[in-house]
Amino acid sequence: EAGVVQSPRYKIIEKKQPVAFWCNPISGHNTLYWYLQNLGQGPELLIRYENEEAVDDSQLPKDRFSAERLKGVDSTLKIQPAELGDSAVYLCASSNGQGKETQYFGPGTRLLVL
């Protein structure tokens, strides 16, 4: 079974530029999560999807961050414009949903904003 796929693995951009991250969850997983992880910290939830619906986006800075999950499968997280403080690892995870608490993570995208 293929795991969660993320791309790109690394991205270096200048501040004020846009950037997008892509995630393909494990096949059949209805729930998809985007997390932000700063160095030395645990993952922090940005947004959670149940199928194609964003059901928990309270931690997503909506002035510059946006996300979508087309057809309830792949998802894209976008930052526009990026700021220096956005430098972090962006992790995508998926799970089977209700009653299945385990989350499966992708390798993450390491973003550096200069």
Give the footprint of other proteins on this chain (CB under 8 A): 4, 31, 33, 40-45, 48, 50, 56, 91, 93, 95, 97-98, 101-108, 110
Under a CB-based contact definition with an 8 Å cutoff, are residues 76 and 32 in contact? no
Closest CA to 4 of 19, 20, 22: 22
Nearer to other proteins by Cβ, of 48 and 69: the residue is: 48
Shortest gap between Cβ of 91 and other proteins (angstroms)? Answer: 5
Shortest gap between Cβ of 42 and other proteins (angstroms)? Answer: 3
Nearer to other proteins by Cβ, of 72 and 107: the residue is: 107
Phi, psi of 73 (to 5 degrees): -120, -95
C-alpha R_g of the chain: 13
Q: Give the other-Cβ count within 10 Å of 33's Cβ.
A: 23
Strands 65-69 and 5-7: unpaired
Two structure tokens written together for 65: 């961050």
Nearer to other proteins by Cβ, of 52 and 81: the residue is: 52
Shortest gap between Cβ of 51 and other proteins (angstroms)? Answer: 12
Shortest gap between Cβ of 81 and other proteins (angstroms)? Answer: 26
Nearer to other proteins by Cβ, of 23 and 82: the residue is: 23
